[in-house]
């Protein structure tokens, strides 16, 4: 078969159009698309920045919530002096919280931001935990030291054995040295601690001298031998001595207390007024002058009233016992469990009612007569006992109403006929015992001499009885 000839191209395909070729060129940035390119890039950058900011905001919100949990845990460990234990407790509690929070975050970038933030906060938290532990350690260590010192001072005050006092003082010094060394506080701190010990013991010894003969001299001898003004200022010395004297004086001067000793209180007040330290510094000086003036006036005033109050209290106690004795005698008149004629329920009830009225009238008397002498109180108690016996003896308990000075002044129910009969008996012989005289006396119808005024009683009593009968 004849071979068909082929054509092989020697050039390369081109997108150029056919036509006339030109040397004119156009800038690639001068097209519309090219001019839009920067704006497109800006838009893309804004979208990325907005995404990043949104993710940061989400992460920061979560970190704030986590920080609140961290602070709770840190606060719970504030008093733990063991920093290792405190940190372990923190990790044990916070790690599960962090892991649970991260498990809910789907965005990988947000999760990574939270992890980074949590790591930074953990470092800060550990710092706070260590700081708090150190503060807690210092606080507890100081407390133990101070408590030990206070216990020792109380032991020191409680003994007058000089050998024990020296022993306790050496123990104080040793404890101070150990504390100073443990906390690496330096020589100046140790010096101040020993001076504080010397001050406390000097004042403790001084306090024990107050009330003893020549207390001022004994205190000054001790103060001078220790050169107390080298470690205890005049102001501190004077204030403490003043307070010790005042406490002693007030313990002795309790107005109205039978155990009070105002003579000794006045002696100590005068001693305090003149007290001077061995170097001449007056205890009662400065602001203490005014308070001392008030104290002295108070003690002197109370001492004048004290004896009278003690007498009144003692009299009151004596009369209480006497009055109770009269009440028992009165009640025994109405009720006796060993007497067949007086062991009935009605007898017991009458004794109780009589006792109630007796006590109320005694209280009324004491309130109205605060200045009554003991013999006067005794006389009133005896007369009251006899009058109440007379009142309750010849009447049924059901006819005796509850005693009341205001609403039911006469507090006993009687028929008009009974009252008229009693009036006739009284008129016949006013000197004889009579219920009307009893009622008059009990209800305050008496003349200037204290004798019963039966006429005045009947003027009020009869109309009441008549009204009762009508009702």
Q: Is the pLDDT of residue 277 over 80?
A: yes
- Within 10 Å of residue 146's Cβ, how many Cβ atoms? 11
Identify the residue with better confidence: 343 or 410: 343
Residue pLDDT, tens place only, 76-132:
988 888 888 989 998 889 889 988 888 888 888 888 888 888 888 888 888 888 888
**What's the confidence (pLDDT) of residue 136?**
87
Query: What per-residue confidence (pLDDT) applies to 344?
Result: 87
Res 294: pLDDT: 95
Burial 293-315 (b: 16+ CB within 10 A, else e): eebbeebeebbeebeeebeeeee
Q: How confident is the model at residue 267 (pLDDT cuts 50, 70, 90)?
A: very high
Q: For residue 285, what pLDDT is reported?
A: 94
Q: Which two tokens stand for residue 444?
A: 């305050």
DSSP string, 93-131: HHHHHHHHHHHT---HHHHHHHHHHHHHHHHHHHHHHHH
| 207-265 pLDDT, tens digit each | 999 999 899 999 999 999 999 999 999 999 999 999 999 999 999 998 888 889 999 99
CA nearest to 172, candidates 143, 150, 187: 150
9 falls in which pLDDT band (50, 70, 90)?
low
- pTM for the model stands at 0.53
Q: What is the DSSP string of 248-286?
A: HHHHH--TT-TT--HHHHHHHHHHHHH-B-TTS-BSS-T
- Bigger pLDDT: 35 vs 111: 111
Cβ atoms < 10 Å from Cβ of 27? 7
The pLDDT value given to residue 1: 46
Least confident of 74-78, 301-305, 446-450: 446-450
Q: Summarize the confidence of residues 31-49 as an average pLDDT.
A: 64
The two three-digit tokens of residue 34, written as one number: 């090219």
- Reported as a single tens digit per residue, the pLDDT across 156-189 is 999 989 899 999 999 999 999 999 998 888 999 9
Rounded mean pLDDT of the chain? 84
8 A C-beta contact, residue 250 and residue 262: no
Lowest-pLDDT range of 85-89, 204-208, 446-450 = 446-450
Q: What is the mean pLDDT of residues 187-203?
A: 93
Q: How many helices (H) and strands (E) does the chain have?
A: 14, 0
Say how far apart CA 130 and CA 224 lie, in whole Å. Answer: 48
> What percent of the chain shows pLDDT beyond 90?
36
Q: Which residues have a Cβ under 8 Å from the Cβ of 128 and sit 6 or more positions away?
A: 74
**Sign of the torsion formed by the C-alpha atoms of 102, 105, 111 and 114:** negative
* Residue 97: alpha-carbon gap to chain centroid: 41
């Amino acid at each position: 078969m004849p071979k068909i000839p082929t054509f092989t191209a020697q050039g390369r395909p081109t997108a150029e159009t056919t036509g006339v070729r030109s040397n004119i060129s156009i800038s690639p940035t001068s097209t519309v698309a090219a001019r839009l390119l920067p704006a497109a890039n800006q838009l893309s950058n804004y979208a990325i920045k907005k995404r990043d900011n949104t993710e940061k905001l989400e992460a920061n919100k979560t970190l704030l919530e986590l920080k609140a949990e961290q602070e709770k845990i840190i606060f719970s460990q504030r008093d733990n002096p063991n920093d290792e234990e405190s940190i372990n407790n923190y990790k044990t509690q916070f790690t599960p919280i962090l892991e649970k929070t991260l498990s809910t975050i789907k965005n990988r970038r947000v999760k990574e931001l939270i992890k980074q933030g949590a790591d930074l906060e953990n470092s800060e938290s550990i710092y706070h935990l260590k700081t708090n532990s150190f503060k807690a350690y210092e606080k507890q260590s100081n407390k133990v030291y101070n408590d030990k010192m206070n216990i020792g001072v109380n032991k020191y005050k409680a003994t007058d054995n000089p050998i024990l006092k020296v022993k306790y003082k050496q123990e104080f010094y040793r404890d101070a040295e150990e504390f100073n060394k443990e906390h690496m506080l330096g020589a100046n701190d140790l010096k101040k601690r020993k001076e504080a010990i010397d001050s406390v013991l000097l004042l403790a010894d001084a306090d024990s001298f107050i009330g003893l003969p020549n207390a001022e001299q004994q205190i000054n001898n001790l103060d001078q031998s220790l050169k107390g003004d080298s470690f205890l200022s005049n102001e501190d010395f004077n204030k403490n001595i003043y307070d010790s004297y005042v406490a002693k004086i007030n313990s002795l001067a309790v107005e109205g207390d039978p155990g009070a000793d105002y003579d000794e209180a006045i002696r100590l007040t005068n001693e305090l007024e003149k007290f001077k330290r061995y170097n001449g510094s007056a205890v009662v000086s400065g602001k203490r002058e005014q308070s001392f003036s008030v104290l002295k006036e108070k003690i002197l005033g109370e001492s004048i009233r004290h004896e009278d109050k003690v007498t009144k209290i003692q009299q009151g106690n004596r009369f209480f016992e006497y009055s109770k004795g009269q009440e028992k005698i009165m009640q025994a008149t109405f009720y006796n469990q060993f007497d067949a004629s007086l062991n009935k329920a009605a007898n017991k009830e009458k004794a109780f009612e009589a006792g109630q009225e007796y006590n109320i009238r005694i209280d009324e008397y004491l309130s109205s007569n605060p200045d009554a002498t003991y013999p006067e109180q005794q006389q009133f108690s005896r007369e009251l006992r006899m009058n109440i016996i007379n009142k309750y003896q010849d009447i049924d308990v059901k006819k005796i109403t509850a005693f009341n000075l205001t609403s039911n002044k006469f507090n006993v129910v009687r028929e008009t006929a009974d009252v008229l009969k009693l009036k006739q008996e009284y008129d016949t012989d006013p000197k004889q015992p009579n219920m009307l005289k009893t009622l008059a006396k009990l209800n305050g119808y008496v003349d200037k001499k204290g004798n019963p005024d039966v006429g005045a009683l009947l003027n009020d009593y009869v109309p009441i009885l008549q009204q009762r009968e009508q009702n």
